[in-house]
Amino acid sequence: MRLKPDAQSIFAGLMFMAFAAVMLWLNTDHPIGTARRMGPGYMPMLAFWILGGLGVAILAGGLFSGPDPIGRFAWRDLGLILAAMVVFGLLVERLGFVVSISLCVVVASLAEKRVRPLRIAGLVAFLLALCWVLFIWYLDIRIPVFPWSR
């Protein structure tokens, strides 16, 4: 068989193997027990050994099934969307609902190729109103609204 590496499968295989290895190492803290009386470490041991084996098989298969390159990562979109969520997570309890949602929407909107400030401002206003009605008024979730309302 000719070697035709498939980057997707090789990466996936390595990922599963690494994950299994880390978890198996962490699992050494848990008593395995016996097959009759399984300890907390028994099922993780089974699952992660199988996962490691599957990782090896995927990696080995990936050496011949290519070429299947990994597509480019949209780092900008990825980063901004995740950053928007992190911003919300960090600020919601400190500065409240209004500030954290506004910033979350603004950061997420930056992922669009053409940034239109007025449009984003409108969206922020609309979403604040909608979320207030839905989550604060209707569902009554415990979340501070303004930075000073704690």
147 interacts with other proteins by CB under 8 A: no
Dig out the tokens for 128 from the structure.
């604040």
Instruction: Give the span between the Cα atoms of 125 and 109, in whole angstroms.
Output: 14
One residue of 4, 18, 64, 119 binding other proteins per CB under 8 A = 119
Return the structure tokens found at 87.
Answer: 């911003």
Site string for other proteins, 90-109 (x = CB under 8 A): x-xx-------x--xx--xx
Which C-beta is closer to other proteins: that of 6 or that of 148?
6
Residue number, 11 or 147, with CB nearest to other proteins: 11
Contact indicator for 17, 55 with CB cutoff of 8 Å: yes
Binding to other proteins by residue 81, rule CB under 8 A?
yes
Q: How far is the CB of 125 from other proteins (least distance, A)?
A: 12
Q: What are phi and psi of 147, to 5 degrees?
A: -60, -30
Which two tokens mark 127?
């979403």
Helix axes 42-62, 7-26, angle to 10 degrees: 160
35 CB-near residues (< 8 Å, 6+ apart): 42
Chain residues in the site for other proteins (CB under 8 A): 8-9, 11-12, 15-16, 19-20, 23, 26-27, 30-31, 34-44, 47-48, 50-51, 54-55, 57-58, 61, 68, 70-71, 73-74, 77-78, 81-82, 84-86, 88-90, 92-93, 101, 104-105, 108-109, 111-112, 119, 123, 127, 130-131, 135, 139, 141-143
